[in-house]
Each structure stands twice: as structure tokens, then as C-alpha cells.
Chains A and B, each alone.
Chain A
Amino acid sequence: MTSHSSPPKIVLVGNPNVGKSVLFNVLTGSYTTVSNYPGTSVEVASGRCRIGGRAYEVLDTPGMYSLMPITEEERVARKILLTERPDVLLHVVDARNIERMLPMTLQLIEARQPVILVVNILDEAERLGMTFDLPRLAQNLGIPVVGAVMKRRQGLEELQQAITGFTSAPRALEVYANDLEADIRRLAEMLKADYPLGARATAILLMQRDQEVETLVRAEEGEGFPLIAPVLHDIKFNRRADLNLLISLERKRLTRKMLEGAFQQRDADHLMFSERLSRWAMNPFSGVPLLVLVLYFGLYQFVGNFGAGTLVDFLEGVLFENYINPAVVGFFNRITDIYWLRELLVGEYGLWTLGIRYAVALILPIVGTFFLVFSLLEDTGYFPRLAMLVDRLFKQIGLSGRAVIPIVLGFGCDTMATMVTRTLESARERIIATLLLALAIPCSAQLGVILGLLAVYPGALVVWMLVMVAVFLLIGYLSARVLPGENPVFYMEIPPLRLPQARNVLVKTLTRMQSYFLEILPLFLVASVILWAGKMSGILDLVVKGMTPLVRALGLPGEATAAFIFGFFRRDFGAAGLYDLQNRGLLSPVQLTVAAVTLTLFVPCIAQFLMMKKERGLRTSLGIFVFVSVLAFSVGWGLNRLLLLTGVLA
């Protein structure tokens, strides 16, 4: 192993869903930080570990299928390979799919990476009737191979030994079919610079029209590039029809050769329980009821009742109301008697009262419980099944099944969901998803308050839900017709259903809560300062007065105006404002329903707006802002008329 002043680096790569993060956690213990890769929304985990008295730095990468990146995740994973120059590269594969994943091992060997192959999930593969001769495979490949069941720490010691004993010995490369090999060599010999992936792999990626690699080669070769270009163009043209297919088939052939004598498959024909459960989840007749159950127990009972009910009651009603608030308010009142300062700190819209208390006592428990459910579902592999269930419906609103993930996340936090829309493939899909999130998807904080608000009148709850679903589908349908471009194509791997690991779920939940909290708390504080300034200067009163006629037009009392203004600072502030009005008995069921509908549809909170601007640009986000505002009040106005006319909820 080469000596560095910094500790040697271990980098984990592999397909999604092969147990990379489990291996990462097993290796690093609790010394983990998860952060977004610079300039992207892709999460990369890094940590440290000690093996045999030596410190290592460990990097987990997003799932990748091949060295040729297509998605943003794959691009980040490859960038890490290109820039980090790992000392040991662990290629983690799922033993059950070894035939499909080994081509990437071949690619990594080809790219002169210091690879150790980790054949994970051996237990389940053996249950499927597969048998392995891993020493034989190691011999065939010429690299260390370790078999493992990482969730039970099986194979950890062998892996640690393989890491400490790793020597980056040069390996003979298997060759491709003659004519293809000749082209690769011809191009590779022309590459003079030192490439992180080696000349050979770089040449192949060049032939496959990898733009990033071409830019890199152009820069590295400088004046030599004009000599390379004609050869490259010549090869690209001659092989325009089937290069990628040919390379894939060649790698498949090599994979078979590598696996000869190292792997056997007996037929195991009975369906395991997890497979039967998976089919139920994907069959629309059982899958839709299952979805309803998941929504009812996960979202309504756990997040709504437990998170927004029990937990909030305890934190806000008991802890803050009885113990913390009096102490804090008393403390500040003792140290200052300047009116404006008191107001700023502990007044009606003060930093403490509106900022910290709301963030900690109201939002955190709701968002926390939501993220727990979300991470739990994510780790079972439920979302891809949901995506394939809704794809046909989502096509009608211009989205593919993939978009189900940002939309579901939107029920937790629309701001985060808006950020995640960048994983969608086309600009058209991203705009539609952003619009729908801003319009018809209430975040968990808002949802919690609204469900609590409407629970008193079940009829109101039903009307509210129907209107939301109708607006979601109608606006989606119309925007899919209006926006130019083609409908997206849907394809997704369906990973096996599995039992989530408690530790993984907790780490994910805490990471999400942490980033949410760090991102949102400052905005809470800004919001309370703005509101405080508005109140002290009288501007708030003016804005409220200005908007009051609009609110009255919806048939609502003028007092409800404040709720709408607050709605912009935090959607749930608005809903909570309605809560106060209802407690004071100022709202009839019809008014309550109209207010809840308008408020849910009404403009996104300030954080979501800022995120929209960052992701979609100022023009698009302003357009969405205006559209959503006009639509919210129009729907509210129409609904009020309709309800009064028909006498429903009267």
C-alpha cells in the first residue's frame, strides 16, 4: 500500500441495493457524517475506521451500474473514483445477481482500480440454490474476493484481512473480441497523459461517447488531441450501430468465463414469503389496499395522531407551556424592560415564541415522525413498487412513476421534495412536479394541523380531501397538455423486499431531521423578525387590512387574514392561526373547510419558494407563485359558493 500523510482511503462502490451502506456502517461504527456531494443533492457518507492498528478513511458512494454514468448519482460516484484515487476499492455485489454485477468488476479491473470484490448477501443466494467457489473466482479474476453477509457481520474479519494485506499487484487483462480489442489498443496507445482510470478504460469510455471523459482527455492531451480526434471519430463512426451492445455482450462473455467452475445455480422453484409479499404489493388489486393501509397507519395514525397529536401535545402543551416558557419569558422580562426588545425576544411573534418554540415543539415532532416512516418504507424497498403501481396514472399528469418519491416526500417537507425533483429526468417533469408540490401537496406540519382542525367535522375532512385530489389531478393533467415535450419513459429496478435495519433507519431519520432543522430554523428566525418588524411598524396591520376584502370574499371572517399572511412564512403557521380562530368559535364548518382548502393550495412557504427559485430559476418560480395564489383563491371562492348553494356541511 502506498504511504500517505493522510490516512489511506477505502471507497465503496456497487449497484444500488447491494448492502453498501450496511457494510459502510459495519466498517466505520458510529463515526459517520452524511453530506451532500458539492454542488449536488446526492448524499455521500464518509467515516473513519481502524483496522489492525491503522487508521483508514472510508467513503460510501451512491449506487452505480457501470463506469459510464447516466444519472446524477452515477456521475457523482464516478467523480469520486476520478478524484479521490482510492487505496482500496471495495466493489460490493449482491451474490444473487453476481452474473449481472460482475461486468462492473471487470470494468474496475480494466480501469486499474485496486479492487477487492465483496460478494454480499451470500445467505439468501444459497437459499436460492446458488453455490459459490470464491477462491476459484478470486483466481479467475486475479483480485481478492470476500464472501459476506454484512448485516450479520459475517465475513468482516476476512475483509479486514484482505484490506490490510492488499497489494496493488498488476493483473493481466482479459481481451475483447479481436477487432474491438484492436480499436481499443489503437486509441489507448495514443493517450499519453496519466489518467485516474488508466489509458485502456479511458479509451473505451471515449469510444462510448462519454462527454466528461472526452473533455478530460481534451484538456490532458492538449496539443496531442488533434491527432487523437480523427482516430476517435473513425472508430465512433465505424462502430456507430452496435458498440455499446458489443461491449456489453463481450463483458457478459468474460463474466461467464470468470464464473466457470466458481458458481452454480440449482433450481429453487418455490416462492419465498418475501417474494409473495412483493407480488401482492405490485398487484393493483392487493397493492392499492396495501397502499391505503400504509397511508392510514403510517401517515394518519403515526404522523398525524401520534406525532402531531400526542408528541406535540406533550412538548408544546406540557413541556413548553408549563415549564420552559414561563422560565424563559420570566428570565427575559427580568433582564430587560425595553418594550420592542421584549417583543422581539418573547413577544407574540418573538424569536423565542414564534421561532424556537414552534420549530422545536411543533414542527420537529411532526417532521421527525414523518421521516421515520419515510426512511422505514425506503429501506423495505416499498417505493419502487409504489412507483410501478402509479406510473400509468402519473403519465396522465405528465410524470413518470419515479416522481412518486418526491411527491411522497412532499407530505413530509415540500422544500426538501422540491430539491429532490432534480432526480427527475426531463425539465418538463421537474416543472410539473414542482408546481404540484407547491400547489396541492400539504407538508406534514400543515397536514398535522389541518387534520386536527377538520377532524371535528368528518364531512369537512372528506370535502377537503376530494378537492385536493381533484386539483392535483386536474392541474397535473392540464399542465401535461400545455407544457411542450414528450411524456417521460419509466423504468426502474425492483429490489427485493427486505426487513429494514433499525440502525440504518435511525441514521437516515436523524440525518434528515438534522438537515431539515439546520435549514429551517434560521428561516423561522428570519420569519419572526420580519413579522415582528411588521407588527412594530404597523405594516403588518396594513397588509392584513389590504387583504381582508379578499378573505371576506371567500366568506371568511376578517380575522382569518392573518392566518393567510403567516401561511407564507410557514404553511403551518397559517393553519395554526385557523386553529386559534376555531377555538374561539369564529368559524362555521363551511368556513373552516374553505379556509383549509385555500390555505393548503395557497403559496408555498418562504423556504419552499427560495428552493424553487434555486432549482427552477426566478421566472418559473414567480410564475408558479402567481398561478398558485390566483388558483387558491379562485378555488376557495368557488368552493364557498358551491357549499352554500348545495347546503353540504351546513
Chain B
Amino acid sequence: MEKLSAQAEEILETLWIATVEEHQAGYPLTDLDAGAEDAALQELIRRAYVETRSGRIYLRKEGRPEAAMTVRRHRLAERLMMDILDIQGEKGNDQACEFEHLLHEGVDRKICTLLNHPATCPHGKPIPPGPCCEEARRQGTAGVVPLTEVRAGQAGEIAYLAISDGQKMQKMMSMGVLPGNRLELIQRFPSYVFKVGNSQFAVDDVLAREIHIRDER
């Protein structure tokens, strides 16, 4: 099936928020930016995602999955803009609105995994879970987590290091703490002690927060 237009996605999003999150019965057509004859609306009606009755527009059962995914992409985009790229406020919102329409064909899944399957957007609204979140839940993996979230005795592959100090990063790397290597956490208190290969290292919680592990649970 062809990709929905950006305008159609916006309509689906509005409808999802109104019906699913705010429990309204439909949404007044007049409040929609687009008119009744709008191409985007026609597109949705043709796919039987929505229907219009007496001046209101309703989200049909067939349209729900698509609407959920649209909302999900929007909120993932917000997370990415605000948390990772640090673009805040109105600007972040605008960027997210444009960006969300690009998150197709598995890009949303990758971003969701990168962000470790976030449950809410920066405004606190729920992000509808995607297949990747369900998969992660079924396997019980927490995905990529900082060392501070790993229990003693657990092991995992080092996913990435987010160490802000370049020299320390290099030091860790030359000691063998490298993405792709297996790490086993031995102890959490009073310092984090972990094992990579046959060597053990101790770090404080500042550094532990910056070492990210692909959890094997």
C-alpha cells in the first residue's frame, strides 16, 4: 500500500488523541484544518480508516493501528529531538512534526530501540508500543541500558560508551572496554566492579552511567 500523505497522518494523529486518549465521540469536521473535500481526508475515507457522519469525523477500527503508529512516530520524534539532539520547546515540536513523517520502513523501530523503547513522550503522554517494544517485552530484555541498571552477576555486550571526557573514553578503550566486548558486572556497591575478558575494573557511578550494555536477560 502506498504511504499516507503527511496531511493524512496529521488527521489520524488528531483523531487518535481525541478518541482514544480523550474519549470523545468523533471530532468536529469544522475544527480540522482541512475541509471536507480535502484530498488527505478523501485518502483516509477511501482506505476506510475514517468515516464522516453529520459533521463529525470518526476513527474506524480499520484505521486504529495506522493511527497508533502515526502517534508513535510523532512522539518518538519528539523524544529524539528533545532528549538526544537537545532541541527544546517550540522549535523541538516543529522539528518533530516534520521529522515524524520520515520515520518509516523500520526507521521508527531503530530509533525506538536506540531510545530503549520509551513509554512516554517528553510531555508525559503515552507512546503506543510498536512490534519492537512487544518483542523486547516478550524476551524480557531491557534493551540497551546503562551499567547502573544492570544487576550484579549479569552480563551483556557493551553497546556504546557515552563518555563525555575524551581522555577517559580513550583510557577505557585502551583497557579493553570496547563496544562489542562482553562485560560481566560483579558488584555494584560501593563502586561498580566489572569484568571484561579476564580483567576487572572499578568505576564510580558517573562512569557507570556512561557505559551502555545490551542486556542479555
Contacts and interface: CB of A to CB of B under 8 A. Distances in A.
Nearest to A107: B174
B179 A245 contact: yes
Interface string B161-204: 10001111111111110111100001101110100111111111
B176 A97 contact: yes
Nearest to A71: B171
Interface stretch (A381-389, A533-541, A603-611): A381-389
A457 interface: no
A521 interface: no
Contacts of B199: 96-97, 100, 493-494
A65 interface: yes
B112 interface: no
B206 interface: yes
Nearest to B192: A388
B207 interface: yes
Nearest to B210: A489
Contacts of B178: 248-249, 252
A262 B63 CA distance: 59
Interface string A150-189: 0000000000000000000000000000000000000000
A244 B191 CA distance: 27
Contact of B175 (A100, A125, A284, A401): A100
A387 B202 CA distance: 9
B191 A391 contact: yes
Contact of A388 (B161, B166, B167, B190): B190
Please indicate which of the listed interface residues B168, B180, B193, B196 has the most CB atoms of chain A within 10 Å of its own CB: B193
A200 B161 CA distance: 28
Contacts of A530: none
A96 B204 contact: no
A279 B201 contact: no
Given A99-B197, A100-B176, A491 B190 contact: no
Contacts of A103: 174
B34 to A, nearest CB: 42
A489 B191 contact: no
A316 B69 CA distance: 87
A282 B187 contact: yes
Interface residues of A, number: 40
B159 to A, nearest CB: 12
A337 B193 CA distance: 69
B172 to A, nearest CB: 7
B182 to A, nearest CB: 11
A491 B170 contact: no
Interface in A58-116: 65-66, 68, 70, 96-97, 99-100, 103-104
Nearest to B196: A100
Please indicate which of the listed interface residues B166, B174, B176, B207 has the most CB atoms of chain A within 10 Å of its own CB: B174
A30 interface: no
A491 B197 contact: no
A173 to B, nearest CB: 20
Nearest to A493: B201
A65 B175 contact: yes
A245 B173 CA distance: 8
A494 B200 contact: yes
Given A70-B170, A244-B169, A248-B178, A494 B189 contact: no
Contacts of B166: 244
Contacts of A401: 191, 202, 204
A248 B173 contact: yes
B190 A279 contact: no
B176 to A, nearest CB: 4
Contacts of B173: 244-245, 248
Given A65-B174, A66-B174, A100-B175, A493 B200 contact: yes
Interface string A586-630: 000000000000000000000000000000000000000000000
A489 B190 contact: no
Given A491-B201, A493-B201, A392 B190 contact: yes
Nearest to B201: A493
Please indicate which of the listed interface residues A70, A100, A125, A390 has the most CB atoms of chain B within 10 Å of its own CB: A100
A41 to B, nearest CB: 20
Given A248-B173, A489-B204, A96 B180 contact: no
A297 interface: no
B166 to A, nearest CB: 8
Contact of A492 (B161, B176, B196, B201): B201
Interface in B110-132: none
A208 to B, nearest CB: 8
Interface in A358-412: 384, 387-393, 395, 400-401
B205 to A, nearest CB: 9
B45 to A, nearest CB: 47
B211 to A, nearest CB: 10
A389 B190 CA distance: 6
B190 A391 contact: yes
A128 interface: yes
Nearest to A486: B206
Given A390-B190, A492-B201, 6 more contacts: A65-B174, A244-B173, A249-B180, A491-B207, A493-B199, A493-B202
14 contacts: A65-B171, A70-B171, A96-B199, A100-B196, A103-B174, A244-B173, A248-B173, A252-B178, A252-B181, A391-B202, A400-B204, A489-B206, A491-B207, A494-B200
Interface of A: 65-66, 68, 70, 96-97, 99-100, 103-104, 125, 128, 244-245, 248-249, 252, 278-279, 282-284, 384, 387-393, 395, 400-401, 489-494, 496
10 tightest A-B CB contacts, nearest first: A100-B176, A388-B202, A490-B204, A65-B174, A66-B174, A494-B200, A96-B198, A388-B191, A392-B190, A248-B173
